[in-house]
Amino acid sequence: MSAPHHPPHTPKGRMPIPLPKILMTDVVRSTHQGDSHGGVYLIDLESERADKVLDWNAGDIDWEGRGGDRGLRGIAFWRDRIIIAASDEIFFFDRSFSRLGSVRNPYLGLCHEIWVDGDRLLLTSTAFDSILEYDLASDRWVSGLSIRVLGDVPQGAPVGPQHMTIRAFDPLAPGGPHKGDTIHINMVSRANAMTFISGVRLPILFAFDGSRVLPFARIPTWTHNARPWRDGVIFNSTGKEQVVYASREGVHKAAMGVFLHDPATLSNMNLPSDVARPNFARGLTTWEGDPERPGILIGGSSPSTVSVFDADTGARLKTINFGKDVRNAPHGLAVWPLA
């Protein structure tokens, strides 16, 4: 079932370019052992059809906490492979979602987003305050970067460069970072040889140039999916239930609200809000397929909702909802590139 939506505006005299298909992972928060705790959906934004192409139900799950180890996270594509992150394991699938293999690393835990740059796979290791890098062509771990908060910063307070220690490490050798989540790194991306890093406690999107971590853009705390885009930055302002396009100085160019569900229509609303709540904004991708409307952002929100936004006008063009259980939280989003 689809939530109310507004069809994309089409300039007079021009046929609309169909919206793409996207791949979405979700996490079922506060689920029970033996139940499904997430899956992968192939969603046709034009027809509004959502097909569950992979169900995730492993027996060796850590059942403590909120999202915890449950569910599938970031999505990336390399050649004809689909790469999907679980908490501490990265899975490879063919285009039919047959499993091809997986990799682990002792410094990978609570992985959120992943990113492919050429033959390199970048991964957030939230449980270790780290970014890992894997060479897909040679099937080997190549580098790690630990970004950790000094002990004198109160828990939950915003973190600036002066509060951080940064250390490169070998992900195949002993002596790497101990387990600990002090800034909740949840997004990594790369462009122009710079690696961009953001997290819940960071009021800055940082850029790593290979030797230094430098401030790139101002962002609010409690964001997900922050990365450079055009002349500024995009992110999910999860606390404000918005998808935001902002300047590097932090001035909003467009702040677009996610679809707000009527609580009376949702199930499992009795759960604490820090476990599962509606309108939790996470998962964000861009689409450049229409040259006359290049500013399309696609964002996820709970429960089981995907929205299409026009960052040039600030409009929410379409919303698709395919579930009313508040525990179903979208996580990874990526435009489907495979024929």
Q: Do the strands 111-117 and 213-218 form a parallel or antiparallel pair, or are they unpaired?
A: unpaired
| CA–CA gap between residue 236 and residue 222 (Å, rounded) | 9
Report the SS3 class of residue 127: helix
User: What b-and-e string marks burial along 172-203, b requiring 16 or more CB atoms within 10 Å of the CB?
Assistant: eeeebbeeebbbbbbbbbbeeeebbbbbbbbb
Q: Which residue has the tokens 């006359």?
A: 292
| pLDDT by position in tens, the chain (length 339) | 444 444 444 444 455 689 999 999 988 864 444 444 678 999 999 999 999 999 886 544 343 444 445 579 999 999 999 999 999 999 999 999 999 999 999 999 999 999 999 999 999 999 999 999 999 999 999 999 999 988 778 877 888 888 889 999 999 999 999 999 999 999 999 999 999 999 999 999 999 999 888 999 999 999 999 999 999 999 999 989 999 999 999 999 999 999 999 999 999 898 876 667 999 999 999 999 988 888 999 999 999 999 999 999 999 999 999 999 998 899 999 999 986
Q: What CATH number does domain 21-335 carry, 3.40.50.2300, 2.130.10.10, 2.60.40.1930, 3.40.50.1000?
A: 2.130.10.10
